[in-house]
Amino acid sequence: MTPDDTARRSAEAMWAGDRASQGLGMTLDSIGPGTATVSMILRDDMVNGHAIGHGGLTFTLADSAFAFACNSYNRATVAAGAEIRFRRPTRLGDRLVATATERERDGRDGVYDVLVTVGDEVVAVFVGHSREIDGTLFDVPEPGQR
């Protein structure tokens, strides 16, 4: 199995149980080893009292991209911490795109950068720290088995 195959199968396994991302209308646009792109369109119920996109939902989108990227090696991985910096407000109808890129992996720990954009403009910058835990997302057959 190639690294791209592993990333795709890991994402499929995660997506199957990710009711939160699905419920928010997110789509998994691309996946690869240590990288993922997830997007969503801001709906009426995602806008706060200032008529701008709720920052918690921008964080959630970035966190989902981070999760798919750090789990792309078929090793169960969770967030150990994360932070976000908002660069500009988002608006109803905006298509937010979160692209996660692995900065480093050392042992069971990783650091991932996520840029959230609307069109060509960066609206938020997220940094996630991951930690591998026991388990995998899917079973890999032993050589010679199907």
CATH number at residue 12: 3.10.129.10
Contacts with 58 (C-beta within 8 Å, 6 or more apart), sequence order: 84, 86, 90, 96, 116, 123, 124
Residue 144 is assigned to a structural domain of this protein: no
pTM equals: 0.94
pLDDT tens-digit series, residues 65-84: 999 999 999 999 999 999 99
Rounded to 10°, the helix 3-17/55-70 angle is 140
Residue 76 is assigned to a structural domain of this protein: yes
**Domain region containing 23:** 3-132
- How far apart CA 53 and CA 113 sit, in angstroms, is 21
Residue 107 is assigned to a structural domain of this protein: yes
User: What pLDDT is recorded for position 141?
Assistant: 73
Report residue 93 as tokens. Answer: 């109808």
SS percent in the chain: helix, strand, coil, step 5: 25, 40, 35
Q: Tally the residues of the chain.
A: 146
User: What pLDDT is recorded for position 145?
Assistant: 59
Closest CA to 36 of 80, 95, 97, 105: 97
Residue 141 is assigned to a structural domain of this protein: no
Closest CA to 114 of 56, 57, 36: 36
Average pLDDT, consecutive stretches of 10 residues, N- to C-terminus, the chain (146 residues): 96 96 98 98 97 97 98 97 98 98 97 98 98 94 65
Number of domains in the chain: 1
User: What pLDDT is recorded for position 140?
Assistant: 83
Strand partners, 81: 129
Residue 49 is assigned to a structural domain of this protein: yes
